[in-house]
Structure 1
Amino acid sequence: MKKSLLTLLAFFALHIAIAQEFKTLTYFVNDTTKLELDLFLPKTKSKDKLPMLIHVHGGGFSGGKREDGHHIAKYAAGQGYAAASITYTLYMKGRKFSCDGILTEKVKAFQIGANQLWQATLFFINNAEKYNIDSSKIFISGSSAGAETALHAAFWDRNIMALYPQKLPESFKYAGIISGSGALMDVNLITKQNLIPALFFHGSCDRTVPYGTAAHHYCPTNSSGWLMLFGSYSIYNHIIGLNGSTHLYTYCGGGHEYSDELFAKGQQQIVDFMNAALKGEKQQAHTVITTGKPCKTGDYDFCK
């Protein structure tokens, strides 16, 4: 029985593997940096240009690898999307990202990540014909540090925060964003003019990246690395206030361990969100999920 089960699992693994076309590509090179990405394309060729998802892995800007995003990239490719998981500079490797770190170093990590995500986006815009991509339908996603990268890439002023001379077209706008346990340094970066559909998921008791509005790691105000962050719940409410399209999944009692939850276990919910966004369907929903985990952080009525 055990041998038969292993054979069956191997068959399904092979079936999934051949359902996508896989490539490792270099998307950015300069004198000091070479960055690669893993691209998954549907095996069946489409006459229509493909929508795209670009994913950024987590790891506190000091760890993680692009393979961590393969689960959502493979799934999205199986649902008719071009999907890429990118490598980016782990700027905080060897530096402190905790309360006793240096504030400007934290901001620099966000800026480098966002700029390199812009470069990955530009790579696919420039190679849209080669890979049959619709450059007006590019979504970005990320987990933890990757979510912070994606959020700032979506809403920062790309001219003010640019580190590289190669820039995205002025008129370019992402089709949407998916953020797993991410946060913004300033929720007011999101305006009516730059609104895009946004899907969030986050544990309500996250002590690493705040679910609401709080300091990074809940650092005391006299910390050298003190940084105020606006988490998923705060961003969601801000977008609702702007009458934008958004959906928040709250894992009541959950901590930072939920930062990859939908990317690893709820991929169809992500694909459904992107499909709805492409159809122009407006979403304003808050899904509350009980985890059974108690905590003292964030006493929200909907979690009682």
Structure 2
Amino acid sequence: MSIQIMSMKTGSIYTILIAIISLALFNSCSKSNSYNNIVTPPNTSGDVITNLSYGSNIDWKGQTEDLKLDVYLPPNRVAGAKYPLILWVHGGGFLVGDKESAKTFSSDMAARGFVTAPIDYRLGWTKSETNTCDGDSVQAKEAFYRAQQDARAALRYLVANADKYSIDTNWIFIGGASAGGVTSLNLPYFTQEVADSYLGTALTSKLGPLNADNSLTNSFTIKGIMSMWGAVGDLGIITRQNAVPTIFFHGTADAVVPFDIDHFYLCDSYPLAYGTKPVYDLLTSFGTPAVAHVEPGGGHGVFTDDFRADNSACFLNSLMADGKEPERGYYIGDNASSCR
């Protein structure tokens, strides 16, 4: 049994509809738009271009790091056609992880018609292996800032090479899980002014401007976000004017990135985080399309790859569909798909 809570178009007041839902009812996407392969069985017949260098910068230990990304192209591409782009940011607490961990999800999204680019980005800060709350919060903020720099540089690189990789620059999306979810959810709102205010000008001066890593000046606009157990550090950075459509996946008992409002790792020594619930509520109060998939009692990392890929593809395609109402809603449980 699952509980589906559909949000109203405006405000954060929910109309509660409780129903017994069979899994088969929600396992397909039928909404039509200009991108026809909304959901297809994942396969490996699309091309994968690996280890493309999108820039370089100094890591937390003072060493120059060459930054790489992969590009997963949709299978059965039409000559001359362009496809929406997803920049994917892996998780790992800004400490560990790499783009290789995103192979399955990147292949899944490419099979659903998206050019998908997982990136490596600079990692590292001091965190105790024995006491979660015993870590250097300033270094943690620096790691977050480096991830913002790197993700922005990767997007500039991909826009500059859009023709080479069959990218439709009118439809650029970003997504990630955990640290990647935090990076992705903040990126469209994280201007240099916001960074200076949130982190302090001393820190941003130390690390350089947000637009670093390469000399490219290509612009981009994020049209949608996939936030998987992500959060922002300040709700005030999201306004009615700059709000971006977002699909969320989160467990209510996440003890690393809070679902509601709390400190990262639930430690007072780390920055305050505004998770899925407050961000979703704010977006819906603006009338911005948003979907939240919530697992009651779920921890850090919820739902299967297929579930997240299917529902993400449906949400992003609903944003691109001419004359169609984008998907919206608050869904509880792994049987409550938003994919219509």
Distance in 2, matches of 1:150 and 1:160, equals 15
Task: Spell out the pairing of 1:147-296 with structure 2 (5 A cutoff).
Answer: 147-158=181-192, 161=195, 162-165=209-212, 166=215, 172-220=220-268, 225-258=269-302, 261-263=303-305, 265-279=307-321, 281-289=325-333
Offset of residue 40 of structure 1: 0.6
- What is the aligned counterpart of 1:100 among 109, 126, 134? 134
- In the alignment, is the contact (CA less than 8 A) between 1:71 and 1:264 conserved in 2? no
* Cα displacement string for residues 184-218 of structure 1 (whole angstroms, at most 9, x for unaligned residues): 00011111221111000100111111000011111
Offset of residue 16 of structure 1: 2.3
* Counterpart residue identity of residue 80, structure 1: G
Distance in 2, matches of 1:96 and 1:179, equals 27
Whether 2:102 is the aligned partner of 1:69: answer yes
Change (3 A) 1:51 1:215: same
- In the alignment, is the contact (CA less than 8 A) between 1:51 and 1:134 conserved in 2? yes
Give the aligned partner of residue 6 of structure 1. none
Whether 2:84 is the aligned partner of 1:36: answer no
Distance in 1, matches of 2:144 and 2:124, equals 9
* Cα displacement string for residues 191-249 of structure 1 (whole angstroms, at most 9, x for unaligned residues): 122111100010011111100001111114xxxx3311000111100111111110001
Offset of residue 279 of structure 1: 1.7
Deviant stretches of 4+, over 2 Å: 43-48, 94-100, 158-170, 261-266, 280-284
* Counterpart residue identity of residue 249, structure 1: H
Q: Unmatched 5+ residue regions in structure 2? A: 1-41, 59-63, 196-208, 336-340
Structure 2 SS opposite 1:68: helix
* Cα displacement string for residues 104-143 of structure 1 (whole angstroms, at most 9, x for unaligned residues): 2221111111111111100111001111211121111000
CA root-mean-square deviation:
2.2
Offset of residue 167 of structure 1: 6.5
* Counterpart residue identity of residue 33, structure 1: E
* Counterpart residue identity of residue 317, structure 2: N
Give the aligned partner of residue 297 of structure 1. none
Structure 1 SS opposite 2:163: helix
Larger mean CA deviation between 276-285 and 141-150 belongs to: 276-285
- What is the aligned counterpart of 2:84 among 51, 55, 58? 51
Structure 2 SS opposite 1:175: strand
Give the aligned partner of residue 26 of structure 2. none
Give the aligned partner of residue 202 of structure 2. none
Whether 2:175 is the aligned partner of 1:141: answer yes
Structure 2 SS opposite 1:42: coil
Whether 2:57 is the aligned partner of 1:23: answer no
Aligned residues: 268
Larger mean CA deviation between 24-33 and 122-131 belongs to: 24-33
Flag the structure with more relative contact order, 1 or 2, with Cα contacts below 8 A and sequence separation at least 6: 2
More helix by share: 1
Larger mean CA deviation between 97-106 and 240-249 belongs to: 97-106
Structure 2 SS opposite 1:276: helix
Structure 2 SS opposite 1:202: strand
Offset of residue 159 of structure 1: 6.0
Q: Unmatched 5+ residue regions in structure 1? A: 1-14, 292-304
* Counterpart residue identity of residue 331, structure 2: T
Offset of residue 99 of structure 1: 2.2
Change (3 A) 1:56 1:290: closer
Distance in 1, matches of 2:299 and 2:275, equals 13
Identity of aligned residues (%): 29
